[in-house]
Structure 1
Amino acid sequence: MAKIAIGSIQEVTKPDCIQALVVEFIATFLFIFAGVGAAMTTEKLVGNEVVGLFFVAMAHALVVGVMISAGFRISGGHLNPAVTLGLCVGGHITVVRSVLYWIDQLLASVAACALLSYLTGGLTTPVHTLAVGMDSLQGVIMEIVLTFSLLFTVYATLVDPKKGFLDGLGPLLVGLVVGANIMAAGAFSGASMNPARSFGPALVSGDWTDHWVYWVGPLIGGGLAGFMYENFFIVRTHVPIATDEF
């Protein structure tokens, strides 16, 4: 069974940690900027809700795939506190560095949304909220399932040492599952799968409606997927030393 690596506060001073935090900030910023920007564009230009949802899903799929690829070598390209938690549960990143990543990701999200609001002349950054008729429990379960599928894909295509012919396709496949989940559930829960993706727009717009759902659901789903895949599907001949990236 995988062991969670605690780490130490001294990691903050290590060059590789500083590099990872800078890259994680940049990658998360660009992801949020493109994702939230796409949502703002659809509200401004598109009347057809189906077309708008597809546009947002494709924008997220593309930018997630590219930003994971851009940040993978240095920070792992997490972009998402739920991904960081899922990898921490599997022992692939220390608890200390996970907390630093969380702070980094949230700050990047806020910065991206604040810049978008300024550049668009004060347009509201759309927040994730539950659809009419969906209660909080339904929303949490939906986000658990969606984020579980995201982390399951991350482990299967990026972490598992026996990923075989999938090697090199991980970022693209993770982006595609994000896009597919948005198409499937965007009209119900918003399909966040990412507390940072929900936090920035909520803070900048001042709208915290249903916001807790987008922390509880993704973190449970991500942590559960990381624990299950690491302990039931990855077979190793020895237990490796925990690394900073996946």
Structure 2
Amino acid sequence: MTASLPRALGAELLGTSALVFFGPGAVVVQAQTGALGHAGVALVFGLTVAVVIAALAPISGAHINPAATLALTLAGQFPRARALPYVLAQLTGATLAGVTLLLLFGRVGQLGVTLPAGSLGQAFVLETIMTFFLLLVALRSGLPWAVGGVVALEAMMGGPVTGASMNPARSFGPALAAGIWTAHWLYWAAPLLGAGLAVAANALLRPSEPVETHPHQAQEFVSQGANP
């Protein structure tokens, strides 16, 4: 059964708020205490995404990311009429979390704002690639541990270079609260491009005809998230 739009929007707002509070919040805590380390911050991001998907996917699908909403819409897996309300709910949740972090910590660690550490071109390509793989996994699997695992993996690798956003809402909330908009356009353009590329790749990977499997192969397809 499809959840009513108000319930779904509430879930998206709550889920995105949790992501921005705990993810960039971990960046802030690391800046203040040094207790988490880079890998610890990446793990917080991944665990938050996994928990939010497990808890809220039955209500809203737990997109918690405008790029994910775009990908699912382009793939024909999500109603177009709900796309804009979802994005607005995600941005609202991200804003609430960003303001909460500001009230709690001030501008420590720039509130986890995503900023390129290298060139804009390098950051753009890296954000596009990371979003591509994240959303390809989401489209083909959607399992909480799989999506959360990709987020943690990419945060460990790309975090020092771009902040590993892969999510316009994740970048928007802290940027608004901190008043830091440096290269903010990049954290919209690259994830949205990555979303489109993930949809195209998923369409190429999806079998055009039903795949016949032998009994001993069934478990392998399930474990890989294949879509026969």
- Say whether 1:143 aligns with 2:127: yes
Give the superposition deviation at 1:31. Answer: 1.3
**Matched positions, count:** 208
Question: Corresponding residue for 1:39?
Answer: 27
The TM-score normalised by the length of structure 2 is 0.86
Pairs within 5 Å for 1:17-96: 17-46=5-34, 52-96=37-81
Question: Corresponding residue for 2:179?
Answer: 206
Instruction: Answer whether contact 1:86 1:222 (CA < 8 A) is retained.
Output: yes
Which of the numbers 129, 147, 151 marks the counterpart of 2:115?
A: 129
Which of the numbers 5, 8, 16 marks the counterpart of 2:4?
A: 16
Q: Which runs of 5+ in 2 are unaligned?
A: 211-228
AA in 2 matched with 1:214: Y
Instruction: Answer whether contact 1:86 1:227 (CA < 8 A) is retained.
Output: no
Provide the rounded CA distance (Å) in 2 between the counterparts of 1:191 and 1:30.
17
AA in 2 matched with 1:198: S
Q: What is the aligned-residue identity percentage?
A: 37
SS where residue 141 of structure 2 aligns?
Answer: helix
Instruction: Answer whether contact 2:107 2:178 (CA < 8 A) is retained.
Output: no
Give the superposition deviation at 1:36. Answer: 1.4
Aligned residues: CA RMSD = 1.8
Give the superposition deviation at 1:122. Answer: 5.5
Provide the rounded CA distance (Å) in 1 between the counterparts of 2:106 and 2:198.
40
Question: Corresponding residue for 1:193?
Answer: 166
Provide the rounded CA distance (Å) in 2 between the counterparts of 1:121 and 1:216.
29
Instruction: Answer whether contact 2:124 2:190 (CA < 8 A) is retained.
Output: yes
Q: Which runs of 5+ in 1 are unaligned?
A: 1-13, 159-169, 239-246
Q: Which runs of 4+ in 1 moved over 4 A?
A: none
Taking CA–CA contacts closer than 8 Å with sequence separation of 6 or more, which of the two structures ends up with the larger relative contact order?
A: 1
Give the superposition deviation at 1:188. Answer: 0.9
- Say whether 1:157 aligns with 2:157: no
AA in 2 matched with 1:146: M
The TM-score normalised by the length of structure 1 is 0.80
Q: Relative to 1, partners in 2 of residues 1:184 and 1:129: Cα closer, same or farther, differing over 3 Å?
A: same
